[in-house]
Structure 1
Amino acid sequence: MSDGVIPTRAAMEGDGYYNRHSAMQAAGNSAALSLWQSAANSVAFGDESLVIVDYGSSQGKNSMDPIAIAIQALRARAGSERFVEVIHTDLPSNDFTSLFTALENEPQSYMRGAEGIFPSAVGRSYYEALLPPGRVHLGWNSWTMQWMSQHPIDIPDHIFGLHSKFEKVHDSLLQQQARDWRLFLERRAVELRADGRLLCLFPGRPEEKVGWEWLTSELWLALLDMKDNGLLSGDDLLHINIPTAPRKLASIRAPFATESGQFAGLRIEHAEILPGPDLHWDAFERTGDAFPLARGWTGMMRAFSGPTVAAALTGKPDRAALVDELFRRLETRLVSNPQRHEHFVAVVLLHKVS
């Protein structure tokens, strides 16, 4: 890989599992859709084919509505016959089969009844160059920028670093996030056309909170239970880390603290942090039944973190069974301790101005 960046996370849980267990992410996307439509309504273009890139697509289901909105908005201006290329990108290990199956079969697929739409995929980390310079009119990027390009430090007291009590851990994560953000912006700035737009949505962090305390702590406690039962070692726990963290507005804006307000030819048009959705709490308060809540959040947690846990257990002949046991224990813990899931979403719209 270029620039010495080595990916340390696996793709999302395969065989369509992420598509079936990412309703929270889909609900969070709604916070950005009006802004996304405005971007599609304002981006400049000529007679060329229109290019939309879905950066970090995973298995595609949650990309259908945003891409459909962009296609409709662009063709309303360019004409219904204008060719549109849609390029989905993710890691080489991503479940692209489920993505193309969703394009074919999902009721909300942007390909339904469409002509002149040409989807394709790139299997490569977006910390690398993915496309030729000046190719992209619109970029959509949701629920990926919390992932760091590298695992910067082992965490002795949690599975998620920002919940560690050690300042050294926090400092390493924040430094890695800053490097990653700048590198991501530089790569995308090259690929965007002049006047192109890139919308990013990812876990955010208000000044006074981190978010995700309940779910991440219960997952860590489930791991400690497995260690106490002799299923995992202390060394296993040291290396089972999910290299993700939310960002504050200050860190999002930091590269743009220049005289021109630009970084790599990009300018921030919009940036805010909003409360994230809880899809299960209202139903739990109505029924008092914690099992649907626990199943829902366990599925979501496994969808994004299960493969990374499994990768950390490489070499153990029973690692698949260990991952199953971890999430079985997580579900049991959530049933016995139901809480509202508090988290926050950052929405950032970037404009290629030069």
Structure 2
Amino acid sequence: MPEAVSSAIAAMEGHGFYNRNSSMQAAGNATALALWEKAAQSVDLGKETLVIVDYGSSQGLNSMEPISTAIRVLRVRTGDERMVEVIHTDLPSNDFASLFTTLNEDPGSYMVGTSGIFPSAIGRTYFEPLMPPGRVHLGWNSWTIQWMSRNPVDAPDHVFAVRSRVPEIRAAVIEQQARDWRHFLELRSRELRPGGRLLSLFPARQPDRMGFEWLMGELWEAVCDMRRDGLFSDHEILRITVPTAPRRMADIQAPFSEDGHFAGLEIEHAEILEGPDVHWGDFERTGDAANLALCWTGMMRAFSGPTIMNSIDPVRNRAELVDDLFGRFANRLAANPQRHEHFIAVVLLHKVGSAV
């Protein structure tokens, strides 16, 4: 079985590109807002400063509504004078400049029309401890935990190893995801206050359908096109592996014992939903396949482009090759427009116990 080649997992495409190309993720977040509001209503509170953590914030645009919702609900309970600390976390290479620009300038910012809100950011992976134990009241985590802490294996037959035809490669992905999920839960449990809540939303799969088949498949075919044209070597084809994968409900529930507890956490709610296709309606009205392709190309490049770039031999013109790849990808999508099928896991976790 091919072994993993060490290469850095990159943050999302910078300069606000992810903010401009993440409407699918925003629509997915909307499906969880009612549950998130319930979490804010039920979290245990004392007289302390309230702490909300946005685990995996990226460039921040899609965090504004969830954080605004939490602040509104908490202050209904505590009064408008209660101080609120909001901590955004992401990789050191994240575009934090766009995050703070969004906080200061976007009309949907949770800072608009309020006072006593104190935002900050931590540039470190959430597969490490991020803050002192027992500090967090509410944790929001969306569209990130599908990323593995490391690339466990390079796939010679797909950009996404979970789509490989080789059973051992798929098994390596599942094993890495299981370790990462347990470690993520252990770390977040330490950081949550007793009675705190963590909502995690991420790509999921059904037992018989994975989702993302169209987009993942066409991206791999675009990579193969470039290999046939002599633009990617066999070594680069092997390295171009984006370490993300959806989870099944069984994977989500696996760490939790028969009584539903793991590392001081219990699952308060877990479901897998069909994600909305935010672009198909426009295509049905207009028939504009080129625009449909442009929208989905932006989304795919926003999250996978930097990692693919890191996989290409550094002596080559990486930026030009990535431009070529996603140009070919867009052409393939436009020639074969389809409704995008994907699934979302929404998991609400409760830190067992009561705050003192």
Whether these two folds match at TM > 0.5 is yes
Distance 2:87 2:7 in 1: 21
Alignment TM-score, normalising by the size of structure 2 = 0.96
The Cα of 1:167 is off from its aligned counterpart by 0.5
Aligned partner of 1:199 in structure 2 is 199
SS of structure 2 residue aligned to 1:221? helix
Name the residue aligned to 1:156: 156
Deviation at 1:248, TM superposition (A): 0.3
Q: State the partner residue of 2:284.
A: 285
Instruction: Output aligned runs, 1:135-284, within 5 Å.
Output: 135-256=135-256, 258-284=257-283
Q: How far, CA to CA, are the matches of 1:344 and 1:90 in structure 2?
A: 24
Displacement of 1:8 in angstroms is 3.8
Between the aligned residues of both structures, percent identity stands at: 63
Q: Which moved more, 1:6-15 or 1:239-248?
A: 6-15
C-alpha distance 27-91 of structure 1, shift in aligned 2 (>3 A): same
Question: Matches of 2:327 and 2:337 in 1, distance apart?
Answer: 15
Q: Give 1:156 shift.
A: 0.8
Given the superposition, is the C-alpha separation of residues 96 and 230 from structure 1 closer, same or farther in structure 2, using an over 3 Å criterion?
A: same
| Amino acid corresponding to residue 346 of structure 1 in structure 2 | A
Partner of 1:299: 298
- 1:187-232 per-residue CA deviation (whole Å, 9 max, x = no partner) reads 0000000000000000011111111010011001101111111111
Structure 1 unaligned blocks of 5 or more: 1-5
Aligned-pair CA distance for 1:259 = 4.2
Task: Give the 3-state SS of the residue equivalent to 1:14 in structure 2.
Answer: coil
Match of 2:347 in 1: 348
* CA pair 108-31 structure 1, distance change in 2 beyond 3 A: same
Aligned to 1:70: 70
Q: Separation in 2 of the partners of 1:79 and 1:57?
A: 27
- Quick check: 1:127 aligned with 2:134? no
The aligned counterpart of 1:3 is: none
- Map 1:4-43 → 2, pairs under 5 A: 8-43=8-43
Distance 1:261 1:163 in 2: 31
Structure-2 separation of matches of 1:146 and 1:316:
30
Deviation digits for residues 74-127 of structure 1 (CA, Å, limit 9, x no counterpart)? 000011000000000000000000000000011100001210000000000000
Indicate conservation of the 8 Å contact 1:136/1:192, yes or no.
yes
Structure 2 counterpart of 1:269, one-letter code = E
Cα distance, 1:28–1:201 mapped onto 2, change above 3 Å:
same
1:7 shift after superposition:
8.3
Residue 128 of structure 1 aligns with an amino acid whose one-letter code is E
Q: Residue type matched to 2:161 in 1?
A: G
Q: What is the distance in 2 between the residues matched to 1:74 and 1:7? A: 42
**Separation in structure 1 between the aligned mates of residue 74 and residue 313 of structure 2, nearest angstrom:** 46
The AA in structure 2 aligned to 1:267 is E
CA distance in 2, matches of 1:106, 1:134: 32
Q: Secondary structure at the match of 2:308?
A: helix
1:116 matched residue in structure 2: 116
8 Å CA contact retained: 2:10, 2:93? yes
1:15-42 deviations in Å (ceiling 9; x for gaps) = 0000000000000001100000000001
Distance, in Å, in 1 between the alignment partners of 2:136 and 2:316 is 44
The Cα of 1:314 is off from its aligned counterpart by 4.3
Structure 1 contact 137–196 (Cα < 8 Å) conserved: yes
Query: How many angstroms does 1:341 deviate by?
Result: 0.6
Is the 2:7–2:310 Cα contact (8 Å) retained in structure 1? no
Q: What is the RMSD of the two structures over their aligned residues, measured on CA atoms?
A: 1.0
Q: Tell me, in whole angstroms, the C-alpha distance in 2 between the residues paired with 1:141 and 1:339.
A: 29
Structure 1 segments, 4+ long, off by >4 Å, are: none
Cα deviations by residue, 1:131-159 (Å, 9 ceiling, x for unpaired): 00000000000000100001001101000
SS at match of 2:115: coil
Q: Which moved more, 1:277-286 or 1:335-344?
A: 277-286
1:94 aligns with 2:97: no
Specify the alignment match of 1:48 in structure 2.
48
Helix, strand or coil at the partner of 2:31: helix
- 1:183, CA displacement in angstroms? 0.2
